[in-house]
């Protein structure tokens, strides 16, 4: 998986918010009203100019009946509940380093 840049994440967020909003045939004003955010913020998010807070993302996702993750993932990505993504192994962690033995607990 390629490493994402903040600009790519903003672009993906902007596209997804607009796409899901239009699927409901909502204007930016409608989304702002449903999410209780300013219409200007919705516009800035879709124009890739804003860095919304987690609370704002939660409000938008709730208004669109989505999970926050769905706003940040490429279209067509399927989210399954109860599964964890595979752990990534970093190159520097690939070699096993000897650790200190655990201290035994007093009896």
Cα 11 to Cα 16, 23, 24, 107, distances in angstroms: 9, 18, 20, 58
Residue 66 lies in a domain: yes
Residue 27 lies in a domain: yes
At 15 the pLDDT is 96
Q: Which domain holds residue 66?
A: 1-70
Count CA atoms closer than 13 A to 58's CA, side-chain side: 3
pLDDT in tens, 1-34: 567 899 999 999 999 999 999 999 999 999 999 9
Residue 21 lies in a domain: yes
Of residues 55 and 90, more confidence is placed in: 55
Residue 77 lies in a domain: no
Taking all residues of the chain, what is their mean pLDDT, rounded to a whole number? 84
pTM of the complete model = 0.70
Number of domains in the chain: 1
Residue 98 lies in a domain: no
Whichever domain contains 10, its CATH number is 1.10.260.40
């Amino acid at each position: 998986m390629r490493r994402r840049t903040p600009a790519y994440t903003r672009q993906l967020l902007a596209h997804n918010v607009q796409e899901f909003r239009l699927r409901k045939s909502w204007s930016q004003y409608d989304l702002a009203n449903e999410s209780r955010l300013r219409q200007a913020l919705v516009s800035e998010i879709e124009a890739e100019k804003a860095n919304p807070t987690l609370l704002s993302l939660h409000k938008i996702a709730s208004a669109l009946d989505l999970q926050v993750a769905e706003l940040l993932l490429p279209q067509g990505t399927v989210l399954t509940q109860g599964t964890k993504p595979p752990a990534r192994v970093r190159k520097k962690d690939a070699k096993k380093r000897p650790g200190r033995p655990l201290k035994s607990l007093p009896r």
